[in-house]
């Protein structure tokens, strides 16, 4: 692929991701009338900034190749500036891929009440696995070259992180496995939702958007595994496509508000945990928008975890087995 073509397409993808990000923020602040952005929003912006850092390094490295072309058969270079640039780009790419995942996890922490023991344990595990994968990728990029100076050594450049096939395998396995884990998790949530069949299908469609990122990542790996000496113009384009796609997919559900009529914000008072405490069941609620959808999360563990507990009010005694956690939201509120 021509270098100029590669840079132009990467810039286009980055611009599309930026537009989606700005629309997401506009919806949060103007349509939903939030006072500020949420934690998932900040994580997605972090992902876009790392994508921009990767693109900047990619453009610089590709332009260096115009005056210092890579030499066959190992695609080595005589440019120290090139080696430093691609080494820095490894961090932007491998670290930046995890910010959209952190955004999804932050949303799950908000969505799932603490009373849902199994689902919360799944969120704990997903959080721990993703954070450990992020740290493992950071250590891989830093240590796999042996001595870190090999990353900017003309003589030992084949030992660098950028040229490490083992590093590619490790980072991709960590990234892809965490993608698959976060893709599977919400389908367990759907099992606990009391919702009409049509709405469940729509919700599955929203969650299935993660397949796009998984497919792009798998395609990138197949291309690299089949020909590790692929030219940088093509390889960098695949990497930019994966990063931009991850950020876009995470933000797409929020854009549904553009085609639905917004309603005034919820008037229910709630605590910092998202619950309102009353003398009856605990209610976890958000204001309905456009179509009134009721989603009821049924705690599958209540009979075991609360079987010896009784809840007493001033008016009546209620068995803990009858306690339910109800959420009134719309599919629109499932935006990441």
Task: Give me the DSSP letters along 165-233.
Answer: HHHHHHHHHHHHHHHHHHHHHHHHHHHTEE--HHHHHHHHHHHTTHHHHHHHHHHHHHHHHH-TT--HH
pLDDT tens for each residue of 158-200: 999 999 999 999 999 999 999 999 888 877 777 666 667 777 6
Q: Which residue has the higher pLDDT, 30 or 315?
A: 30
Contact 177/214 with Cβ under 8 angstroms? no
Beta bridge partners of 325: 297
What pTM does this model have? Answer: 0.76
Q: Does position 215 have pLDDT exceeding 90, yes or no?
A: yes
Q: Does position 70 have pLDDT exceeding 80, yes or no?
A: yes
pLDDT tens for each residue of 36-63: 899 999 999 999 999 999 999 999 999 9
Q: Which residue has the higher pLDDT, 331 or 163?
A: 163
Taking CA atoms, 181 is separated from 133, 171, 210, 211, in Å, by 12, 16, 11, 12
SS3 264: coil
Pairing of β 283-285 and β 317-319: unpaired
Taking CA atoms, 330 is separated from 58, 205, 274, 288, in Å, by 41, 14, 16, 6
pLDDT tens for each residue of 256-301: 777 664 444 444 433 333 333 343 443 333 433 333 333 445 444 4
Mean pLDDT of the chain: 78
Q: Which residue has the higher pLDDT, 98 or 201?
A: 98
pLDDT of residue 260: 63
CB proximity list for 165: less than 8 A, separation 6 or greater:
228
Extents of the domains making up the chain: 3-259
Per-residue pLDDT, averaged over 23-33, amounts to 89
- Interaxial angle between packed helices 39-67 and 3-26, expressed in degrees from 0 to 180 and rounded to the nearest 10: 170
* CA 63 to chain CA mean position, Å: 31
């Amino acid at each position: 692929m021509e270098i100029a073509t590669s840079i132009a397409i990467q810039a286009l993808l980055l611009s599309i991701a930026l537009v989606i990000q700005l629309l997401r923020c506009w919806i949060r602040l103007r349509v939903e009338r939030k006072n500020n952005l949420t934690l998932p929003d900040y994580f997605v912006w972090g992902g876009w900034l790392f994508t921009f850092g990767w693109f900047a390094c990619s453009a610089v490295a590709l332009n260096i190749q115009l005056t210092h072309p890579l030499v066959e058969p190992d695609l080595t270079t005589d440019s120290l500036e090139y080696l430093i640039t691609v080494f820095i780009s490894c961090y932007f790419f491998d670290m930046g891929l995890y910010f959209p995942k952190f955004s999804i996890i932050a949303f799950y922490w908000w969505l799932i009440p603490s009373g849902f023991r199994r689902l919360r344990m799944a969120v704990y595990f997903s959080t721990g696995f993703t954070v450990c994968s992020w740290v493992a990728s950071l250590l891989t990029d830093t240590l796999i070259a042996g001595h870190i100076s090999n990353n900017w050594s003309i003589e030992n450049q084949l030992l660098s992180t950028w040229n490490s096939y083992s590093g590619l395998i490790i980072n991709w396995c960590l990234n892809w496995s965490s993608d698959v884990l976060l893709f599977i998790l919400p389908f367990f949530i759907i099992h606990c939702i009391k919702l009409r069949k049509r709405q469940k299908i729509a919700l599955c469609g929203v969650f299935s958007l993660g397949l796009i990122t998984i497919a792009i990542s798998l395609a990138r790996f197949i291309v690299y595994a089949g020909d590790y000496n692929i030219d940088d113009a093509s390889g960098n384009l695949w990497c930019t496509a994966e990063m931009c796609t991850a950020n876009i997919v995470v933000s797409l559900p929020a854009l549904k508000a553009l085609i639905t009529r917004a309603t005034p914000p919820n008037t229910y008072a709630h605590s910092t945990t998202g619950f309102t405490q009353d003398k009856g069941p605990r209610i976890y609620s958000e204001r309905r928008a456009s179509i009134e959808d009721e989603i009821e999360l049924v705690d599958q563990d209540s009979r075991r975890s609360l079987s010896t507990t009784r809840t007493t009010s001033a008016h009546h005694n209620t068995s803990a087995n009858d306690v339910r956690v109800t959420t009134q939201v719309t599919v629109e509120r499932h935006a990441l």
